[in-house]
Amino acid sequence: MAPPTRPSRPASSSASVPPPPSGGGCPFLHGLGGELHQLAGENNPVLTTQQGIPVGDDQNTLRLDARGPALLEDFHFREKMFHFDHERIPERVVHARGYGAHGFFELTESLSDITKADIFQRKGEKTPLFVRFSTVAGNKGSPDLARDVRGFAIKFYTKEGNWDLVGNNIPVFFIQDAIKFPDLIHAAKEAPDRAFPQAQTAHDNFWDFISLMPEAVHMALWIMSDRTIPRSLRFMEGFGVHTFRFVNAEGHSTYVKFHLKPKLGLQSVAWNEAVKINGADPDFHRRDLWSALNSGDFPEWEVGVQLFDDAFADAFPFDVLDATKLIPEEDVPVRIVGRLVLTRPVDNFFAETEQVAFCTQNVVPGIDFTNDPLLQGRNFSYLDTQLKRLGGPNFTHIPINAPHVPVQNFQQDGHMAMRNPKGRANYEPNSWGAEGGPREDPQRGHTSFPAQESGEKRRARPEKFADHYSQARQFYLSQTPIEQRHIADAFTFELSKVETPAIRERMVGHLRLVDEALADAVAGGLGLKALPDAPKPARAPINDLPPSAALSIVANGPQRFEGRKLGLLVSDGADAALLSALIEAVDKEGAQLELIAPTVSGITDSKGVSHKAQQRVEGGPSVLYDAVAVLLSADGAALLSQKPEARDFVSDAFAHAKFIAFTKEAEPLLEAAGIKPALQDNGFVRLEKADDAARFLKTCGALRFWEREAKKPA
């Protein structure tokens, strides 16, 4: 427990923190230990060493007299320091920054005819699970709003053992063959000579690699879209990416792609907002998930499957084994078969989120792999990486990785073995009868689908893999105009950070094969005098694939403000009736509210009622909120108009196309922020009477007033 700091003002009688130790004096002198005891509650347990030995003094090392040398004999000091010195384990080579939570999967439609996987048999049955969300490129301490793919890895603790679905929030991937993964990641992460830039792809190495790998063009469109700057981990989709197999009790196989659709709809932030959020709250996503879980707003996703057979796979213009392609929902609808609900945060971040070890090869009977060359490579890589990260082969003994069913085998020993065979038998076959331990079960056990394979051993890819532009174009044309504009802006931003003109031009050349108008916009943004030549595609693109509405975020918005957050800028003397109407409207909508005030102690409204603030103006910029309301007294507006942070609060909300509610008294602040009455479009709501609060919250359901941004010159 951190000792409380001495308050600079007289402590109020309602203060619940314990008083600081009395008597003053230097805290490093012996004797303080006794006074610190006053800070503890009556029933605090006794501090012990790792050996369980009660500790008498945790403030002073054992030394020869107060000013003498430290003594080697101090086993408590040595043990404490030894353990601290070894607290770190290697961070993940990719997806280092992550956040996990526990929850469950509930089956809403049985798939027993399609798969024998136990988890998909009984409608209404719940299976516990652990999810870890992550960014890919940044190191463990990198900011949450980096432009990056988000990992969406799920460990299902099924009755037939652990099934790991290690997916992303984007349905396709950069590369087709696992052998290119180390190159992709090296190119994306910081350059080895300078160790920057970190957690971003806006640099030469990344775009050099991508522009030389046409297969990455489809994914490049996705990562330059708003998908890579999600507003919340709760508002993004999840995808298994690869084609897997379901196998039923008769041994029949059906291809399957896994989907997760957020119950609260999709939502992303604007790029300029992301940049500012990273400064204002680098932990924005984890804080959001933490607060949602702790306030009982359990995030939920629909779990769906796309099921298809060989006939579909053969007729589909692309190869279903190619992870750079998706199957449009219009071609194979997503059948919703369950729901995934997150219900609680971890008890300990390290023990659970850091030590959780996902492995793509963890599949249960009824689920099997296909020959997707990326998936097959992953099946090697994940097991391999856990050994390095967790230090030995027994990482499955760590509670977060242990299945919720008995583990019975003859594996033994190794570092930190917690689970070893009991009795004499540590091998099989053996002739020790009932004492001889577990045996294989050909009926219940996992059996691989007996796919017929033949052909030459070669380093080659199937012909259909060579189409790199058709689905990139389809994705681009499936976006709303504002999203298309964001894609062009993102390419322009990233390529403007690339110092080598030839790389910029090579990338724009690829974009010409996606959409000439996109290439033109990016070339214009980069100031290119002429459009570079497009490369010769390895396979002629199909240019008339129909747009797929499911690929747009804006088209799939929730049309409600539930789960979102309103930032309410207030001052002393704010209209009491409007304030309570806003509080009520937010609550009714299932949204959250934060009060931002001149000081964090809060304000007193026009009726003399005090309200606590969650943020001080200087620490609560509008980028942290989905919509804002400005409820000020005339004095409050005069005061805040002098503060650049208050002016930015309003002007940023305006620039980020947010809905803004305001009272008449707040107008001077709007004016000071450069928002003249003529600029007050339909994204503004005047708060005059209590009813306006509910009307405003309904308006906020559109999440952003994109028309405002559309009016800005390209």
Q: How far is CA 565 from CA 628, 651, 658, 706, in A?
A: 9, 18, 12, 18
* Closest of 510, 541, 518, 465 to residue 225, by C-alpha: 518
- For ligand HDE, the closer CB: 134 or 571: 134
Question: Cα dihedral sign for 382, 88, 73, 59?
Answer: negative
Nearer to ligand HDE among residue 227 and residue 708 (C-beta): 227
Question: What's the CA gap between 475 and 478, in Å, rounded?
Answer: 5
What does the DSSP 8-state code read for residue 486?
Answer: H
Site residues for ligand HDE, window 241-270 (CB under 6 A)?
241
Q: Supply the minimum distance, in Å, between the C-beta of residue 575 and ligand HDE.
A: 47
Contacts of 45 (CB under 8 A, 6+ apart): none
Minimum CB separation from ligand HDE for residue 391, in Å?
Answer: 14
Taking the least distance from each CB to ligand HDE, the nearer of 134 and 205 is 134
Determine how many CB atoms are found less than 10 A away from the CB of residue 351: 13
How many of the other CB atoms lie within 10 Å of CB of 20? Answer: 16
Candidate residues 173, 206, 308, 696; the one interacting with ligand HDE per rule CB under 6 A: 173
Nearer to ligand HDE, 153 or 224 (CB): 153
Indicate whether 377 belongs to the interface with ligand HDE (CB under 6 A).
yes
Candidate segments 106-114, 380-388, 570-578, 605-613, binder of ligand HDE by CB under 6 A: 380-388
Closest CB 215 distance from ligand HDE, rounded Å: 13
Query: Nearest distance from residue 98's CB to ligand HDE, in Å?
Result: 5
Give the pair of three-digit tokens for residue 330.
Answer: 């219009």
Residue pair 549/478 in contact (Cβ under 8 Å)? The answer is yes
- 437 near ligand HDE (CB under 6 A): no
For the chain, how far is it from start to end, CA to CA, in angstroms? 53
Question: Do the Cβ atoms of 298 and 259 come closer than 8 Å?
Answer: no
CA pair distance 246, 117, nearest whole angstrom: 8
Q: Which of 147, 378, 565, 647 binds ligand HDE (CB under 6 A)?
A: 378
Q: How far is the CB of 400 from ligand HDE (least distance, A)?
A: 11
Rounded distance, CA 458 to CA 455, Å? Answer: 9
Nearer to ligand HDE, 288 or 372 (CB): 372
What CA–CA distance (Å, rounded) separates 32 from 26? Answer: 8
Residue 613 interacting with ligand HDE (CB under 6 A): no
| Separation in Å, CA 350 to CA 94, 347, 653 | 17, 9, 36
| 342 near ligand HDE (CB under 6 A) | no
Shorter beta-carbon distance to ligand HDE: residue 76 or 132: 132
> Shortest Cβ distance from residue 389 to ligand HDE (Å)?
7
Quick check: 393 binds ligand HDE (CB under 6 A)?
no
Q: Is 255 helix (H, G, I), strand (E, B) or coil?
A: strand
Among 60, 198, 361, 385, binds ligand HDE (CB under 6 A): 385
- In the numeric block, the tokens 């230990």 are attached to 33
SS3 of 30-89: CCHHHHHHHHCCCCCCCCECCCCCECCCCCCCCECCCCCCECCCCHHHHHHHHHHHCCCC
CA of residue 163 relative to chain centroid, distance: 20
Q: Which residues of 623-649 are buried (b: 16+ CB within 10 A; e: fewer)?
A: bbbbbbbbbbbeebbebbbeeeebbbb
CA distance 439 to 428: 8
Question: Is residue 389 a known part of a binding site?
Answer: yes
Q: Does 381 participate in binding ligand HDE (rule CB under 6 A)? A: yes
Which of 213, 269, 374, 519 touches ligand HDE (CB under 6 A)?
374
Among 120, 156, 181, 284, binds ligand HDE (CB under 6 A): 181
Write out the two tokens for 196: 């920057």
CB of 138 within 8 A of CB of 369?
no
The response to whether 92 counts as a known ligand-binding position is yes
The span of 28-36, 117-125, 376-384, 692-700 binding ligand HDE (CB under 6 A) equals: 376-384
Residue choice 207, 382, 476, 659 for contact with ligand HDE (CB under 6 A): 382
Element (H, E) at 104: strand 98-107
The dihedral formed by the CA atoms of 79, 85, 89 and 90, expressed in degrees to the nearest 10: -160
168 is a contact residue toward ligand HDE (CB under 6 A): yes
Name which position in 114, 119, 146, 153 contacts ligand HDE (CB under 6 A): 153
Contact status: 358 vs ligand HDE (CB under 6 A): yes
Q: How far apart, in whole angstroms, are the C-alpha atoms of residue 639 and residue 405? A: 63
**What CA–CA distance (Å, rounded) separates 570 from 579?**
9
Query: How many residues form the binding site for ligand HDE (CB under 6 A)?
Result: 24
Position of minimal CB gap to ligand HDE? 151
Residue among 17, 82, 24, 22 at smallest CA distance from 49: 82
Q: Consult the annotation and say whether 382 binds a ligand.
A: yes
Among 138, 143, 151, 532, binds ligand HDE (CB under 6 A): 151
Q: Tell me which residues are annotated as active site.
A: 95, 168
Q: Which is nearer to ligand HDE, 166 or 660 (CB)?
A: 166
Q: Which C-beta is closer to ligand HDE: that of 150 or that of 506?
A: 150
Residue 507, helix vs strand vs coil: helix
Minimum distance, C-beta of residue 165 to ligand HDE, in the bound complex (Å): 9
Annotate 118-175 with DSSP letters as a single string.
GGGTSTT-EEEEEEEEEESSS-TT--TT-S--EEEEEEEEETTEEEEEEEESSSS-S-
Q: Binding to ligand HDE by residue 233, rule CB under 6 A?
A: no
Q: Tell me the sheet residues that pair with 153.
A: 132, 166
Residue 374 Cβ vs ligand HDE, minimum distance, rounded to whole Å: 4
* Tally of CB atoms within 10 A around 476: 24
Is 308 an interacting residue with respect to ligand HDE (CB under 6 A)? Answer: no
Q: For residue 361, state whether it binds ligand HDE (rule: CB under 6 A).
A: no
Binding to ligand HDE by CB under 6 A, coded x per residue (else -) over 81-110, reads: -----------xxxx--x------------
Question: According to the annotation, is 625 in a ligand binding site?
Answer: no
Give me the DSSP letters along 318-377.
S-TT-TT----TTTSPPEEEEEEEEEEE-S-HIIIIIT----TT---TTEE----HHHHH
Smaller CB distance to ligand HDE: residue 102 or 116? 102
Task: CB nearer to ligand HDE: give 199 or 579.
Answer: 199
- Applying CB under 6 A, the span of 48-56, 160-168, 200-208, 527-535 interacting with ligand HDE comes to 160-168
Q: Is 325 in the site for ligand HDE (CB under 6 A)?
A: no
Smallest separation, CB 503 to ligand HDE (Å): 24
To the question of whether residue 424 is assigned a binding role by annotation, the answer is no
Query: In whole angstroms, how close is the CB of 32 to ligand HDE at the nearest point?
Result: 43
Rounded to a whole number of angstroms, the minimum distance from the CB of residue 550 to ligand HDE is 18
- Indicate whether 426 belongs to the interface with ligand HDE (CB under 6 A): no
Is 378 annotated in a binding site? The answer is yes
Task: Determine if 289 is a binding residue for ligand HDE (CB under 6 A).
Answer: no
> Which is closer to ligand HDE, CB of 374 or CB of 623?
374
Residue closer to ligand HDE by CB (options 376, 480) is 376
Q: Work out how close the CB of 221 gets to ligand HDE at its nearest, in angstroms, rounded to a whole number.
A: 16
Q: Is the dihedral of CA 481, 486, 492, 494 positive or negative?
A: negative
The reply to whether 132 sits near ligand HDE by the rule CB under 6 A is yes
Binding site residues, as ranges? 92, 132, 181, 378, 382, 389
| Residues at the interface with ligand HDE (CB under 6 A) | 92-95, 98, 132, 134, 151, 153, 166-168, 173, 178, 181, 241, 323, 358, 374, 377-378, 381-382, 385
Binding site residues for heme, as ranges? 92, 132, 181, 378, 382, 389
